[in-house]
């Protein structure tokens, strides 16, 4: 097993799917996220990671490598931004945030910037991360729209 290469991915309707050597199946999707000021210049996508099948418990660095690879495909093909929304419904939102932070800090992708914000309602806490290319020509507008979404608790 080569731990330096991403897993083989297959394209799905909204993103990609891959299976690990340990039997886990992940689906990575990019779903259009509605902004307050629907813009024509760019689209904000929500990036979602769903585990479709669990396998044997293991530490597997190739999962991170594969997710980074899929995100790099996304940023190579368009000028849009990606938001990750982590809510407290299952109580694991802060663990997911720490994992994304760890992956971002270990990554060698210096062209991608990360912005974070949190908000809450009476029912849930929401922690978010926005990934955007450093040289995105619409970065100011995207950041403004992102923080407007924070103010309204991401439509919660």
Please spell the DSSP secondary structure of 28-58, one letter per residue. EEEEE---SS--SS--EEEEEEEEEE--S--
- Provide the residue-wise pLDDT of the chain in tens; the chain has 156 residues: 445 789 999 999 999 999 999 999 999 999 998 888 777 788 899 999 999 988 787 788 899 999 999 998 999 888 889 999 998 888 888 988 998 898 888 887 788 999 999 999 888 999 999 999 999 999 999 999 999 999 998 877
Rounded to whole angstroms, how far apart are CA atoms 138 and 18?
32
Report whether 125 contacts 154 (CB < 8 A).
no
Q: Which residue has the tokens 């790099």?
A: 72
Helix axis angle for 61-77 and 93-106, nearest 10°, is 70
């Amino acid at each position: 097993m080569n731990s330096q290469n991403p897993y083989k991915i297959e394209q799905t309707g909204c993103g990609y799917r891959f299976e690990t050597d340990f039997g886990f199946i992940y689906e990575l999707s990019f779903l259009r996220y509605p902004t307050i000021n629907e813009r024509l210049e760019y689209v904000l996508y929500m990036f979602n990671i769903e585990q479709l099948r669990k396998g044997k418990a293991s530490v597997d660095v190739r999962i991170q490598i594969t997710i980074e690879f899929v995100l790099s495909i996304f940023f190579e093909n368009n000028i849009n931004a990606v938001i990750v929304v982590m809510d407290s419904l299952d109580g694991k939102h802060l663990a997911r945030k720490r994992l994304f932070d760890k992956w971002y800090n270990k990554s060698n992708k210096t062209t991608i910037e990360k912005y974070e914000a949190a908000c809450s309602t009476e029912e849930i806490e929401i922690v978010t991360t926005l990934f955007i290319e450093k040289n995105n020509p619409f970065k100011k507008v995207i950041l403004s729209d992102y923080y407007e979404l924070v103010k309204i608790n991401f439509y919660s």
